[in-house]
Chain A
Amino acid sequence: MPAKIALAGLGHEYVNPFTRERVLALDGLGLEVADGEFLTVVGPSGCGKTTLLNILAGLIVPTRGAVLVDGRPVTGPGRDRGVVFQEFAILPWRTVERNIAHGLEIQGVPRAERAAVVRRFVELIGLTGFEKKYPHELSGGMRQRVAVARTLAANPEVMLMDEPFASVDAQTRITLQEELNAIAQATRKTILFVTHNVEEAVFLGDRCCVLSRRPGRVKALVPVDIPRARRTWTLFTSDPAFSATKDRVLRLVREEVGGEEAER
């Protein structure tokens, strides 16, 4: 089966518009993601994780390399690839239901059908009763759920998630991770999830991709051989396979962070 996402020789260089300084964010990155796979990407801060995700989203055009989704080169953003951003990217002037329905509205889905989809997702993310609220009336965790629901409701084939739970409190994060896990199991979507949290990466991923320090390339791909149905935090933390995988990924990430410090 051909890969859903295929990256080869991917490189990206930023030029600081003020200092003219060039920063190589990614260099020679190659990666394949299978259809229906949940791939998590970890790496030291500044290793180009977000750049990688934005390239896949079509928001950044890479300096070098090939980006293929379903065998076709990515030329810009498209509704086949939904993105959940790190910060709250839902619109403050739209209510919860209108934010969730936004993708469908853009696709020209009729009102009645939209309402049915919205109802289903509002229920899925546990925000029943909050449909008419504006984002500023919600907690951070609730807002991020709306963002996830907006992307899911648009029904993309690929979900790109950029540290979506980084800015919510620890308790909410655990709930959201478990919810996402259930959603991944139910929808079998291809998901690429960027995070700097190793536990989160191992908890969510079918495979965990460790990036090297800048310029980012794939350092290792670590499979997580734990069935999705068994992935709840209580079961997970007591599972020896989990701790072994987590330690392995942590060690790989540490090597990169340590290397960076030794260089200084």
Chain B
Amino acid sequence: MTLRWEVVATWLALLAAATAAWGVAAATLPLPDYYLPPPTAVLATLGDLIAKGILPTYVAESLRRILQAAVLGLAVGVPAGLLLGMSRRAAEFFYPLLNFFQSVSGIAWLPLMLVWFGFGERTILIAVNYTVLFPVIFNALLGVRSVPRLYVDALRTLGASRWRIARDVLVPGALPSIVTGMRLGLAYGWRALIAAEMLVGAHGLGFMIFNAQNFHLTARIMLGMGIIGVLWVVLDYFLLRPLEEATIARWGIVQR
């Protein structure tokens, strides 16, 4: 799916209309300024926070944390899921466990983690890595299990070893599911990261918007929310989508 200019133009028009409506509402509704700041205030906050260097620092902090979790997911989660998926017994045993831990997100763990690991970077990283890891392992395992038996049998009759079958059939066959797992894991991880930053309060975008609430800096909260969303869209579009395009879309496994 490549972006067509009509779609982009429509989005821009909708954004402009929504911003205009917001501006009119902020100007006319009898509400205090901090309740609904006008778009111009949010824009001014953006300029101000960039100039002070606060926004670049916080964005860099949050990005560093999520990218670090992405590397861990790729380096540890994917191989672990693949290995577990290659044994039917291991897959049957671990499937419910992985499913359980995938559903208890890092956010739900945070109260306990704060007790165990304290209010610091350690808790944030553990919560985010945990949240990313389980969907990645789970989907890699599912990916291996969903490779058609026929492909494996075909290679066995060609005289392939187990290692050869893993390399030529199971890993490429699991790739669509691996990509899904990475996308899901990082999407969950990004949310967990913001939540952890809010509670722990050690820099980052989550800390920025949560802390702003103490001072009724509503424009800053809205700006932070917008940036959280935009950053994810950009990450997904430039990091995860090209991976999909280069492999599974080319093989005709994903229909677009």
Query: How many B residues have CB within 8 A of the partner chain?
Result: 22
Measured between C-beta atoms, what is the minimum distance from B164 to chain A in Å? 6
Interface window among A11-19, A23-31, A89-97, A242-250: A89-97
A78-B159, A106-B159, A106-B160 known; A93+B172 contact, CB < 8 A: yes
Identity of the chain B residue whose Cβ is nearest the Cβ of A86 in the assembled complex:
B150
Within 8 A of A (CB), among B160-182: 160-161, 164, 168-169, 172-173, 175
B153 contacts chain A at the CB level, 8 A cutoff: yes
The reply to whether A91 and B150 form a contact with Cβ atoms under 8 Å apart is: no
Within 8 A of A (CB), among B129-186: 150-151, 153-161, 164, 168-169, 172-173, 175
Within 8 A of B (CB), among A121-151: 134-137, 150
Within 8 A of B (CB), among A33-85: 57-59, 76-79, 81-83, 85
Q: Enumerate chain B residues within 8 angstroms of A91, measured Cβ to Cβ.
A: 151, 168-169, 172
Measured between C-beta atoms, what is the minimum distance from B172 to chain A in Å? 4
- Cα–Cα distance between A76 and B160 once the two chains are bound (Å): 12
Within 8 A of B (CB), among A155-199: 160
Residue of A59, A92, A137 near B157 (CB, 8 A) is: A59
- Cα–Cα distance between A57 and B161 once the two chains are bound (Å): 16
The reply to whether B252 and A102 form a contact with Cβ atoms under 8 Å apart is: no
- Cα–Cα distance between A107 and B158 once the two chains are bound (Å): 9
Residue of A81, A85, A135 near B154 (CB, 8 A) is: A85
The reply to whether A79 and B172 form a contact with Cβ atoms under 8 Å apart is: no
Q: Enumerate chain B residues within 8 angstroms of A57, measured Cβ to Cβ.
A: 153, 157
The reply to whether A79 and B153 form a contact with Cβ atoms under 8 Å apart is: no
- The SS class assigned to the B binding surface is helix
The reply to whether B153 and A89 form a contact with Cβ atoms under 8 Å apart is: yes
A91-B169, A106-B159 known; A136+B153 contact, CB < 8 A: no
Q: Enumerate chain A residues within 8 angstroms of B169, measured Cβ to Cβ.
A: 91
- Cα–Cα distance between A36 and B175 once the two chains are bound (Å): 42
Identity of the chain B residue whose Cβ is nearest the Cβ of A95 in the assembled complex:
B251
The reply to whether B251 and A92 form a contact with Cβ atoms under 8 Å apart is: yes
Chain A CB count within 10 A is highest, among B153, B155, B158, B250, for B158
- Cα–Cα distance between A5 and B247 once the two chains are bound (Å): 42
- Cα–Cα distance between A208 and B251 once the two chains are bound (Å): 39
Q: Enumerate chain B residues within 8 angstroms of A216, measured Cβ to Cβ.
A: none
The reply to whether A137 and B252 form a contact with Cβ atoms under 8 Å apart is: yes
The reply to whether B158 and A82 form a contact with Cβ atoms under 8 Å apart is: yes
B253 contacts chain A at the CB level, 8 A cutoff: yes
A205 contacts chain B at the CB level, 8 A cutoff: no
- Cα–Cα distance between A59 and B152 once the two chains are bound (Å): 10
Q: Enumerate chain A residues within 8 angstroms of B161, measured Cβ to Cβ.
A: 106
A85-B153, A91-B169 known; A134+B159 contact, CB < 8 A: no
The reply to whether B159 and A89 form a contact with Cβ atoms under 8 Å apart is: no
Which 5 residue pairs are nearest across A and B when measured between Cβ atoms? A136-B252, A79-B159, A89-B154, A77-B156, A83-B157
Known: A58-B156, A85-B153, A93-B247. 12 other contacts (CB 8 A): A59-B157, A83-B154, A85-B150, A85-B154, A87-B150, A89-B153, A89-B154, A90-B154, A91-B172, A92-B251, A103-B158, A137-B252
17 pairs, A vs B, C-beta closer than 8 Å: A76-B156, A77-B159, A82-B157, A83-B153, A83-B154, A85-B153, A89-B150, A90-B154, A92-B253, A93-B172, A102-B155, A102-B168, A103-B158, A106-B161, A135-B252, A150-B158, A154-B159
